[in-house]
Amino acid sequence: DVKVTQSSRYLVKRTGEKVFLECVQDMDHENMFWYRQDPGLGLRLIYFSYDVKMKEKGDIPEGYSVSREKKERFSLILESASTNQTSMYLCASTFDRASNQPQHFGDGTRLSIL
Amino acid sequence: GDSVTQMEGPVTLSEEAFLTINCTYTATGYPSLFWYVQYPGEGLQLLLKATKADDKGSNKGFEATYRKETTSFHLEKGSVQVSDSAVYFCALSDNAGNMLTFGGGTRLMVKP
């Protein structure tokens, strides 16, 4: 089974801090994604990556950046955390770009910005 | 752009009741369609999928049929259990890189 591991289940940070959320997958997947999940809004794509050192903006990239230095690891960075970034963050991966490949998700990081 | 619309929840049912969660979509081309489930405190898991018109996806007693003429992918189960209580997400994947577009999610609560 594919395992997608997010480094923290719960995280509390202060406004203005730089926050790192880490995600690691163990199945040599090419594609990795970061979403945020908010009630009633479903999941919204923040950033994604199709390869090492490659990144693309999703639907809501403002206030975020990403890093993919190794194939198995995809990091989400909040450059200067704000209270409106309090949310559940979900990482996902897929083997390749074929549209019928399901995405495999981690358990999520619930981030609170105070 | 692509979009997915789900019925709003919560949906509250008694055990063994019949379940339908409606999902409609708008998309260009021929997307793949998915239902994901999120149990409390966990990430999303793939429940079922369909990749072309008239395909039926099924898993764990859940079914959904890809209806291109009505642009729908409704989720059904004949007899729900308390353990089915979760949030269900309908999603579509484009044909240019496996980008997922999600509906807003529907919370299902099943009472014994």
B69 at A interface, C-beta within 8 A: no
In this prediction, residues A36-47 reach a mean pLDDT of 90
Does residue B106 sit at the A interface (CB-CB below 8 Å)?
no
User: How large a percentage of chain A has pLDDT more than 70?
Assistant: 96
For residue A107, pLDDT beyond 70: yes
Q: How confident is the model at residue A75 (pLDDT cuts 50, 70, 90)?
A: very high
- Secondary element (H or E) of residue B21: strand B19-21
Q: What is the pLDDT of residue A102?
A: 81
pLDDT for res B99: 78
Instruction: Tell me the count of A-B CB pairs closer than 8 A.
Output: 64
Predicted confidence band of residue B29 (pLDDT cuts 50, 70, 90): confident
| For testing contact with chain A, the best of B48, B88, B99 (most A CBs within 10 A) | B99
Please check the confidence at residue A18 and state whether its pLDDT lies above 90: yes
**Which pLDDT tens digit goes with each residue over B11-28?**
999 999 999 999 999 998
Is the per-residue pLDDT at A1 higher than 80? Answer: no
pLDDT for B96: 65
List the single residue in A42, A102, A106 with the smallest CB-CB distance to B49. Answer: A102
Would you call A97 and B46 a contact, using CB atoms and an 8 Å cutoff? no
Q: What is the pLDDT of residue A47?
A: 96
- What average pLDDT score do residues B106-111 get? 96
Close Cβ partners of B7 (under 8 Å, ≥ 6 residues apart): B21, B22, B23, B106
Which residue in the block uniquely carries the two structure tokens 């990795």?
Answer: A32
A48 and chain B in contact, CB less than 8 A: yes
Phi, psi dihedrals of residue B83, rounded to the nearest 5°:
-70, -10
Tell me the average pLDDT of chain A: 92
Lowest mean pLDDT among A26-40, A46-60, B77-91, B95-109: B95-109
